[in-house]
């Protein structure tokens, strides 16, 4: 059985075979003898040990035993200090071009966590293109500022509407998500197109660039503290804007989807339960739709709080999780919406004419229902030519919608024949199915002399509304009066109008009615609003 030794390299504990430890010990002593006397020698050795620990984890695993071949392989990757000195230019002390080529590596784009203000996008791009970080940040701010208010700086004939301030913000967020963060030393060196060997580690420490993630700030920051303070203020302002915007959006969407009521105790999402859809259950459609709208605001709130208070990033990356969930919810909502809309892909119409034999100068209309019209939860529209009526019936155990066909008055000359025109518009997956549905669902009515009785359609969670729209049009002379007798008295007169829209409200319905002081005058059949008296 081979002996092993426990050692700490780069603040990480490793188990190394004894013969491998002896080789490693000699290498570390060689590094100490070479670098301790140099300026920044301690920082160079710390950087080398950090890179060495990364290589040990990469080659042997974090908890595995490091063998002699692994130690030799890592030493070969890092190189020996004597070999580096032999490659140095004795005249200038700089490295030769051949050596620089050997120490170079393909560049890769990473976000720079050591010099970041928000997400490290600008600092990562600056490292990749080898330009000052401040220049990239200024470019982003200028684009954001000029594109947010282009009419002040750009001629009106130049169309930059697509390049709005929100677009620049979205571009930054997309880059934040798409570009990975440089976490290891190897990634941080690849960000600059360098190999993490002894020569580059020494060179970067001597240049004060501190690519290993220590507490030393970059030379650009130290040379321009005022500019960086300005950027910090901008970041805080953006963070506050994110928080305010996201909280406002969450409250608004919560009110629209969950707090507002169409009538009392009936929120907008409940409508889906009374509509015939191509899916059996609407629960996942509701959840995915709510997630699609709420998740971006939640992500913006999280990002704003993190930016404002400089919270330490979680290793679980909540921002990325939110983005992934948002994409999934958007795909799910779109897929379920298309599937739910299958019964409405095609439409069909059916029209039927029924002659009116009565020559009476007054026609009475009765909107007959098995249940009486309530005082509230009614939607009614009426003027000199049209009337629409439906209400919510809660007299039984289940909530029902009572909907009457739309009544339309078409005036014509006295010489033309009187008639009823029955129209139905229906939807289905195919046009043939829609036509058959329209033919089978003409408005139900009874015509007895001068009395027209119209029957409603009743919808509930079992018998759902399928998109069918019905209209009964009366073609009559100008001299004939038309009066609705029940459930509300209304004459189709230019001086008479009724209106009752959706009762969008929150809180107590009595408070709503009291605050708006609205009431019905059933005898005259018009809508009265005391606010306008």
Tens digit of pLDDT at every position of the chain (533 positions)? 577 778 777 777 777 877 877 887 777 777 777 777 676 667 777 777 777 777 777 777 767 777 888 778 877 777 776 665 555 544 344 444 444 444 566 778 888 887 777 778 888 888 888 887 878 877 777 777 666 555 444 444 444 444 444 567 777 778 888 888 877 777 777 777 776 666 666 666 655 544 434 443 344 444 445 556 667 777 788 888 888 888 888 888 887 777 665 555 667 778 888 899 999 888 999 899 999 999 988 988 888 888 787 776 666 778 788 888 999 999 999 999 999 999 999 999 999 999 998 889 999 999 999 888 888 788 888 888 999 999 888 887 788 899 999 999 999 988 889 999 999 999 999 999 999 999 999 999 999 989 999 999 999 988 999 989 999 999 999 889 999 998 988 889 877 788 776 544 444 444 444 443 334 444 344 433 334 43
Q: Looking at the domain assignment, is residue 115 inside a domain?
A: no
In whole angstroms, give the CA distance from residue 217 to residue 209: 8
For residues 157 and 294, state if they share a domain. Answer: no
For residues 455 and 393, state if they share a domain. Answer: yes
For residues 336 and 353, state if they share a domain. Answer: no
For residues 238 and 213, state if they share a domain. Answer: no
| Structural domain count, the chain | 4
Q: Which helix (H) or strand (E) holds 421?
A: strand 419-428
For residues 40 and 51, state if they share a domain. Answer: yes
Q: Which long-range contacts (CB under 8 A, 24 or more apart) does 229-233 make?
A: 231/117, 231/137, 232/117
For residues 169 and 78, state if they share a domain. Answer: no
For residues 39 and 79, state if they share a domain. Answer: yes
Nearest to 500 by CA among 409, 373, 367: 373
For residues 40 and 150, state if they share a domain. Answer: no
For residues 223 and 277, state if they share a domain. Answer: no
Residues 6+ apart with CB under 8 A from 1: none
Q: Establish how many alpha carbons lie within 13 A of residue 186's alpha carbon, considering only the half-sphere containing its beta carbon.
A: 10
- Measured CA distances, 291 to 97, 252, 336, 396, 431 (Å): 56, 15, 13, 34, 34
Q: Looking at the domain assignment, is residue 107 inside a domain?
A: no
End-of-domain residue from the set 227, 258, 282: 227
For residues 411 and 501, state if they share a domain. Answer: yes
- Give, as one character, the DSSP assignment of residue 151: G
End-of-domain residue from the set 200, 227, 254: 227
Q: Looking at the domain assignment, is residue 104 inside a domain?
A: no
Q: Looking at the domain assignment, is residue 256 inside a domain?
A: yes
What is residue 141's predicted lDDT score, i.e. its pLDDT? 76
What is residue 327's predicted lDDT score, i.e. its pLDDT? 92
In whole angstroms, give the CA distance from residue 27 to residue 64: 21
Length of the chain: 533
Give me the sign of the Cα torsion angle 123, 126, 131, 135.
negative
For residues 267 and 357, state if they share a domain. Answer: no
Q: Is 376 helix (H, G, I), strand (E, B) or coil?
A: coil
| Phi and psi angles of residue 123, each rounded to the nearest 5 degrees, phi first | -65, -35
pTM: 0.54
Q: Looking at the domain assignment, is residue 165 inside a domain?
A: yes
What domain range includes position 283?
229-340
Q: Looking at the domain assignment, is residue 385 inside a domain?
A: yes
End-of-domain residue from the set 93, 110, 144: 93
For residues 169 and 265, state if they share a domain. Answer: no
């Amino acid at each position: 059985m081979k002996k092993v030794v426990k050692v700490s390299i780069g603040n990480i504990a490793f188990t190394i075979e004894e013969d491998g430890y002896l080789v490693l010990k000699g290498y570390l002593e060689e590094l100490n003898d070479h670098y301790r006397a140099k300026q920044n020698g301690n920082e160079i050795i710390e950087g080398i040990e950090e890179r060495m620990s990364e290589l040990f984890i990469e080659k042997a695993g974090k908890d595995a035993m490091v063998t002699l071949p692994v130690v030799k392989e890592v030493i070969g990757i890092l190189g020996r200090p004597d070999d580096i000195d032999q490659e140095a230019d004795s005249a200038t002390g700089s490295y030769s071009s051949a050596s620089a080529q050997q120490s170079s590596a393909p560049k890769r784009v990473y976000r720079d966590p050591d010099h970041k203000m928000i997400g490290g996008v600008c600092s990562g791009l600056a490292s990749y293109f080898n330009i000052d970080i401040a220049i990239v940040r200024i470019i982003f701010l200028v684009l954001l500022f000029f594109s947010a208010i282009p009419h002040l700086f750009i001629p009106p004939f130049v169309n930059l509407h697509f390049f709005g301030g929100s677009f620049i913000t979205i571009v930054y967020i997309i880059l934040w998500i798409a570009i990975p963060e440089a976490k290891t030393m190897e990634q941080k060196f690849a960000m600059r197109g360098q190999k993490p060997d002894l020569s580059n580690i020494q060179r970067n420490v001597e240049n004060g660039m501190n690519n290993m993630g220590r507490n030393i700030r970059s030379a650009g920051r130290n040379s321009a503290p005022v500019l960086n303070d300005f950027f910090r203020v901008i970041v805080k302002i953006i963070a506050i804007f994110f928080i305010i915007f996201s909280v406002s959006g969450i409250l608004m969407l919560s009110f629209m989807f969950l707090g507002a009521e169409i009538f009392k105790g009936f929120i907008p999402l409940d409508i889906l339960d009374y509509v015939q859809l191509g899916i059996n259950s609407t629960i996942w459609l509701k959840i995915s739709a709510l997630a699609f709208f709420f998740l971006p605001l939640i992500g913006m709130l999280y990002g704003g709080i993190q930016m404002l208070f400089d919270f330490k990033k979680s290793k679980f990356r909540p921002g990325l999780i939110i983005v992934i969930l948002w994409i999934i919810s958007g795909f799910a909502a779109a897929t379920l919406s298309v599937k739910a809309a299958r019964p409405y892909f095609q439409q069909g119409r059916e029209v039927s004419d029924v002659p009116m034999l009565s020559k009476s100068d007054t026609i009475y209309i009765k909107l007959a229902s098995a249940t009486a019209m309530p005082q509230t939860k009614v939607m009614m529209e009426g003027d000199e030519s049209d009337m629409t009526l439906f209400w919510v019936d809660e007299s039984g155990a289940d909530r029902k919608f009572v909907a009457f066909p739309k009544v339309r008055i078409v005036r014509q000359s006295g010489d033309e024949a009187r008639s009823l025109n029955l129209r139905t518009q229906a939807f289905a997956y195919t046009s043939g199915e829609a036509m058959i549905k329209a033919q089978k669902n003409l408005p139900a009515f009874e015509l007895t002399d001068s009395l027209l009785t119209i029957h409603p359609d009743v919808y509930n969670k079992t018998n759902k509304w399928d998109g069918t729209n019905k209209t009964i049009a009366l073609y009559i002379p100008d001299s004939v009066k038309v009066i609705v007798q029940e459930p509300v008295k209304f004459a189709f007169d230019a001086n008479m109008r009724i209106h009752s829209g959706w009762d969008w409200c929150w809180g107590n319905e009595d408070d709503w009615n009291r605050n708006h002081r609205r009431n019905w005058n059933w005898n005259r059949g018009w809508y009265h609003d005391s606010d306008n008296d």
